[in-house]
Structure 1
């Protein structure tokens, strides 16, 4: 009986080993952000995503500099907007659905460009149902949705920054 039990454990262990080897052998790896072509960035402005943007740039070995003169690229986070709108009401006038809205307006300027780019807007929206009976759960849901919207906007800005090309010097 003990021998059969050990045999089953060995079979499970071997199948897990084979599965993990197959997964790594197929070339699977998590998606990485596209690299930004600039080696130094100067960030202006203050938004909720500033620290996450700085961390993402540092993770790509991009130096965050203290002055615009040192930077190959300047990023100005000009305006941030966070809004909660009522989408629908019940027949008695009670809110049933909200829309969350998060937008960041920014512009860029490379070292060799004489002027700033036109302002670009990156935004995210989420809808969610609301019920007073589940107030704490709905507040937590709203907070998580806001965090994912900020992450989506951050990733969109990083994608746009990675699309910028450094001019030959």
Structure 2
């Protein structure tokens, strides 16, 4: 028999009420079909990605397709059930506002990704589609190096968003008939 036995404390009124509120909420959330977004399954078993694997975009696309658990990336387009072609990946920067002295105060960064999906025979599965993202940021000429790093980080964030949108479009494609 142990010398020291911790006493079980009864639930406080607050903990009891909190448990009483959270339990029905968790049950309702589970019952409505909610689930975390996991790997996105695709209709085709093999996919050729028309972007070099050495580029950031190409590596990111291949990595996300590999996590789909339904599709593998093949390097030979002739072996692929579907071919993803990146038609354009463009970045831009526009002045959004100026100070009273005529210096840039704020920029808007733009990035667009244009793609299409073709089948093995070259028939269009998803027509040319443009995805775009925008971010605004304040510019300070006294911190040019920091702002350059912030700009690059915003471009990476936009690319992540665009690639996620692209993956959702690929997983939403369903063959007719």
User: Matches of 1:137 and 1:115 in 2, distance apart?
Assistant: 44
1:134 CA displacement: 2.9
User: Matches of 1:131 and 1:30 in 2, distance apart?
Assistant: 39
Contact 2:82 2:117 (C-alpha < 8 Å) held by counterparts: yes
What 5-or-longer segments of structure 2 have no aligned partner?
Answer: 1-21
* Shift in CA distance, 162/116, structure 1 to aligned 2, threshold 3 Å: closer
Contact 1:45 1:78 (C-alpha < 8 Å) held by counterparts: no
1:1-169 counterparts in 2 under 5 A?
30-46=36-52, 48-61=56-69, 62-111=71-120, 114-115=123-124, 117-167=126-176
Q: Which has the larger radius of gyration?
A: 2
User: Matches of 1:107 and 1:59 in 2, distance apart?
Assistant: 21
What 5-or-longer segments of structure 1 have no aligned partner?
Answer: 1-18
1:33 CA displacement: 4.3
Instruction: Name the TM-score, length of structure 2 as normaliser.
Output: 0.73
Number of aligned residues: 166
Moved beyond 4 Å, runs of 4+: 26-29
Contact 1:33 1:159 (C-alpha < 8 Å) held by counterparts: no
